[in-house]
Structure 1
Amino acid sequence: MGKGMRDKFPSVLLRDFVTHTVVAESPSPATPSPQHPSVIISSNDPKSFKEAMKDVSWQKSMHEEIRALEENGTWTLEPLPKRKHALGSQWVYRTKYFSNGDIERLKSRLVVLGNHQEAGIDYHETFSPVAKMTTVRAFLAIAASKNWELHQMDVHNAFLHGDLEEEVYMKLPPGFERSDPNFVCRLRKSLYGLKQASRCWFAKLVTTLKGYGVLQSYSDYSLFTYTKGNVQINVLVYVDDLIISGNDSAALKTFKAYLSDCFKMKDLSVLKYFLGIEVARSSAGLFLCQRKYTLDIVSEAGLLGAKPCGFPIEQNHRLGLANGELLSNPESYRRLVGRLIYLAVTRPDLAYSVHILSQFMQEPRIEHWEAALRVVRYLKGTPGQGILLCADSDLSLQGWCDSDWAACPVTRRSLSGWLVFLGQSPISWKTKKQHTVSRSSAEAEYRAMTAVTCELKWLKGLLLSLGVHHPKAIKLFCDSQSTLHMAKNPVFHERTKHIEVDCHFVRDAITDGLIAPSYVPTVTQLADIFTKALGKKQFDYLLAKLGIFEPHAPT
């Protein structure tokens, strides 16, 4: 390939683009609403390239974006080979604001039309891991217990750092065309819009971290640890957001400087807000909540002035057999339930309600919508409720499991529910319908015990990656005597031979010293809140023991 063919866009073209295509200058974007100052999309943001061309400020913004892409070595200019096709591209415009509502900058982003990519030609694998929410909670719980520093960093234009392995071509960006229409951009690095962009970025990040001597965890591939002498640093990655904790301030500073040299990073200092989760630290530990997100849900539902409910879902509900009128606008139901699913990241009290409501996404009915609004009214009374990761935790795992036999009135499948504590801090919980029909309540309880045993086994490995050894057997509490007998005694008969695999798995875990099951009365079974709709008295009783805290509640 000749040298001239591999040249980047000539600076003359960029200069001509900025200085000779001004049509008219539009007024400055409107002042944003104070509710969401950092993420608001101004109504005056250009919707198309033609509209952006009317404002010299947006032209300069596009010029800066192209310049940055060129300096990053994102592409080379080449003629399009035969039997190859070039993807289109478009500009996306956003006005960025400071937290006080003032305009920070105008951002123009070049996006490839990745929806036109062909599998096996333009891309192969696209999967990229992100941190599990259980890992996030365990990561923060350990930092709170050890009183380690917690910092957050953000990568500017993360997807632009990934090296592209496939041969991908893109048409020249709008406004930067050349006289020869056969010239296109051969992408050397990933670009926003490509289906493999996140995978390329993560591979680049992993290579960079390993170059520093950081080890990648096998329990969660988004978790990285660095140990040298008495210094320990843990890094958790969620796309382009990084949480960093460690026991040495100087080592943390050196590590952050290394990342800043490798990528263009934004140091957000002490961790306070991550993925919509508000983090507050005190001598008691770390408090996680989603108060702003909760208030947004209540406001969007139009229930800011509604009377709060004391518990999220009615006892003895029959939502599975509801036969009322179908909702004329099911999208609103799906959006609300989708937001509740993410809210459950810091709200264990919503696990059962969200599980029930999410089963009716396909054809929600009036009864389902009313039940969802009841959950919102419950949130109205507890918007700042969250979980407390205690500073005085002993970092020992403890599990609780329960089931509700034949809970589903349609399929007669049972519900499994579990809760896992790290010391006094709740880090894992779930409500899930079992895959098969259980023939007895003991069998249903046994399947729930199997599920939580899998979780405990994984968590033990995760803690080991974070430098926490757990040599003792993990206490596991169950309220079924029959299940405990089956778990401890190697006797198979007609009632248990069809669950032989589960039996062997749990018994091996007991023999190996992984778990130590014991009995707890149903009235004090903490996992009971994950398997059925409880009345207010029992609901409040269990809620107080889950590690849930409401700092805004009246004394």
Structure 2
Amino acid sequence: MSASTSPSPIPLNPIETLNDPHWKRAMTEEFHALIKNGTWELLPRTPDMHVIRSMWIFKHKFHSNCSFDRYKTRLVGDGRSQQVGIDCTKTFSPMVKPSTIRRVLSLALRHSWSIRQLDVKNAFLYGNLSETVYMHQPSEFSMTDLGNLSHFLVVAVSHTPNLFLNQSTYAMDILERADMLYCKPSKTPFGGSFAISNIYRPDISYAVQQICLHMHALHDGHMGALKRILRYVKGTIDYDIHLNKSASRNLVSYTDPDWAGCLDTRRCTSGYCVYLGDNLISWSSKRQPTISLSLSLSLSLARSSAEAEYRGVSNDVSESC
């Protein structure tokens, strides 16, 4: 496919899929990879089996410069027909925390490790199971070496040789979807559903947290605040998270709450940030779950959240050093 050719649209039904040679080829490759890895074992159906449907997931994959890469398909179980207590007792989402990515990058800089990225096909992620499961790890994965780390999870990475993490492309996509690509920029976010906030934009973490409290019942005032945040994103679209090769190995956490700052619930809002050396790797700003009767209790709740994150970061760092 040439760079000027638009990719085939994501299919909406099986007929569209089978009639498109690009998607049909991607499905065939995915199916053969699953067979090669011995993903499943065929068994005769018995009356006590609760059988769920299978379904295909289709997605376009793009390069870091937003040019089309390939057609991506996944064969998955349709969890909508599962029954709690019969098919499962809990669900999980095997997603890495953004703060974990930042601490790994920070450690890589300090130790002068080479940072490369790989595209792994048919990687299987499992949660902790209470049952005993016997399985062989697949003998091999189909893997593509993409060279030095340059793009991951809608984040662009620049090497200088320090690292700059930027979400300008993703921010432009959000602005375009909100029909605010040419809006007037704002100098401040307050006067944010957007994943751009708490992941790589700590400067709007508090503003987005405040608007997300009302995301299920937005009114005109909330929409105005949301647009204000987007205007601020437009004016700061080139802001980066900077990770440098810090000589310090100290892990430092800061936290602070207000007291009864929410006029509607009288709850406190607390925040924390965690530094590994000179690098900011984790932060949070959110309303406390209960009403604090005193400032000292508010401080205690804020400290508890910060300590939990600090312990998590400390364990990861100690395993990597």
CA distance in 2, matches of 1:102, 1:439: 55
**Where does residue 113 of structure 1 map in the other structure?**
78
CA distance in 1, matches of 2:97, 2:271: 19
Percent identical pairs in the alignment equals: 35
Q: Which has the larger radius of gyration?
A: 1
CA deviations over 1:151-170 (Å, ceiling 9, x no partner): 222220224xxxxxxxxxxx
CA distance in 2, matches of 1:77, 1:264: 23
Q: Does 2:244 align with 1:386?
A: no
**Where does residue 37 of structure 1 map in the other structure?**
none
Q: 1:281 to 1:373 in 2, by over 3 A?
A: same
Q: Residue 140 of structure 2: which of 242, 262, 287 is its match? A: 262
CA distance in 2, matches of 1:441, 1:398: 23
Q: Does 2:218 align with 1:364?
A: yes
SS in 1 for 2:193: helix
**Where does residue 350 of structure 1 map in the other structure?**
204
Q: Does 2:305 align with 1:428?
A: no
Alignment of 1:439-450 (within 5 A): 439-450=293-304
CA distance in 2, matches of 1:122, 1:46: 29
Q: Does 2:159 align with 1:281?
A: yes
Residue 393 of structure 1 contacts residue 422 of structure 1 at CA under 8 Å; is this kept in 2? Answer: no
CA deviations over 1:253-305 (Å, ceiling 9, x no partner): xxxxxx9x63222222211112112111213x211121111111222222232
CA RMSD of aligned residues (A): 3.5
One-letter amino acid of the counterpart of residue 371, structure 1: A
**Where does residue 193 of structure 2 map in the other structure?**
338
Q: Residue 53 of structure 2: which of 84, 88, 91 is its match? A: 88
One-letter amino acid of the counterpart of residue 300, structure 1: R
SS in 2 for 1:199: coil
Q: Does 2:33 align with 1:31?
A: no
Q: Residue 179 of structure 2: which of 294, 302, 313 is its match? A: 302
Q: Does 2:167 align with 1:290?
A: yes
One-letter amino acid of the counterpart of residue 394, structure 1: S
CA distance in 2, matches of 1:60, 1:458: 43
One-letter amino acid of the counterpart of residue 438, structure 1: S
**Where does residue 462 of structure 1 map in the other structure?**
316
One-letter amino acid of the counterpart of residue 272, structure 1: S
One-letter amino acid of the counterpart of residue 264, structure 1: S
CA distance in 1, matches of 2:241, 2:120: 28
CA distance in 1, matches of 2:66, 2:196: 27
Q: Does 2:17 align with 1:48?
A: no
One-letter amino acid of the counterpart of residue 167, structure 2: Q
Deviation at 1:416, TM superposition (A): 1.1
CA distance in 1, matches of 2:66, 2:284: 39
Residue 92 of structure 2 contacts residue 127 of structure 2 at CA under 8 Å; is this kept in 1? Answer: no
CA distance in 1, matches of 2:117, 2:25: 31
CA deviations over 1:484-507 (Å, ceiling 9, x no partner): xxxxxxxxxxxxxxxxxxxxxxxx
Residue 404 of structure 1 contacts residue 414 of structure 1 at CA under 8 Å; is this kept in 2? Answer: yes
Q: 1:98 to 1:141 in 2, by over 3 A?
A: closer
Residue 294 of structure 1 contacts residue 343 of structure 1 at CA under 8 Å; is this kept in 2? Answer: no
Deviation at 1:84, TM superposition (A): 3.3
CA deviations over 1:203-262 (Å, ceiling 9, x no partner): 99x986xxxxxxxxxxxxxxxxxxxxxxxxxxxxxxxxxxxxxxxxxxxxxxxxxx9x63
Farther off after superposition, 261-270 or 123-132:
123-132
One-letter amino acid of the counterpart of residue 264, structure 2: V
CA distance in 2, matches of 1:460, 1:94: 36
**Where does residue 146 of structure 1 map in the other structure?**
111
Residue 89 of structure 1 contacts residue 112 of structure 1 at CA under 8 Å; is this kept in 2? Answer: yes
Q: 1:345 to 1:90 in 2, by over 3 A?
A: closer
Q: Does 2:78 align with 1:127?
A: no
Deviation at 1:309, TM superposition (A): 1.0
Residue 46 of structure 1 contacts residue 52 of structure 1 at CA under 8 Å; is this kept in 2? Answer: yes
CA distance in 2, matches of 1:113, 1:85: 12
Q: Does 2:230 align with 1:376?
A: yes
Residue 153 of structure 1 contacts residue 268 of structure 1 at CA under 8 Å; is this kept in 2? Answer: yes
Q: 1:263 to 1:372 in 2, by over 3 A?
A: same
Deviation at 1:94, TM superposition (A): 5.6
Residue 31 of structure 1 contacts residue 102 of structure 1 at CA under 8 Å; is this kept in 2? Answer: no
Q: 1:101 to 1:142 in 2, by over 3 A?
A: closer
Alignment of 1:394-413 (within 5 A): 394-413=248-267
Deviation at 1:135, TM superposition (A): 1.7
Structure 1 residues not aligned, in runs of 5+: 1-27, 33-39, 160-197, 209-258, 315-336, 468-555
CA distance in 1, matches of 2:38, 2:246: 50
Residue 344 of structure 1 contacts residue 351 of structure 1 at CA under 8 Å; is this kept in 2? Answer: yes
SS in 2 for 1:412: coil
Q: 1:99 to 1:134 in 2, by over 3 A?
A: closer
CA distance in 2, matches of 1:392, 1:55: 51
**Where does residue 189 of structure 2 map in the other structure?**
312
Q: 1:359 to 1:80 in 2, by over 3 A?
A: same
Q: TM-score, normalised by structure 2?
A: 0.82
Deviation at 1:148, TM superposition (A): 1.5
**Where does residue 535 of structure 1 map in the other structure?**
none
Q: Does 2:77 align with 1:199?
A: no
Deviation at 1:111, TM superposition (A): 4.2
CA distance in 1, matches of 2:20, 2:270: 58
Q: TM-score, normalised by structure 1?
A: 0.50
**Where does residue 415 of structure 1 map in the other structure?**
269
Q: 1:116 to 1:308 in 2, by over 3 A?
A: same
SS in 2 for 1:344: helix
SS in 2 for 1:288: strand
SS in 2 for 1:345: helix
Residue 280 of structure 1 contacts residue 286 of structure 1 at CA under 8 Å; is this kept in 2? Answer: yes
Deviation at 1:367, TM superposition (A): 0.6
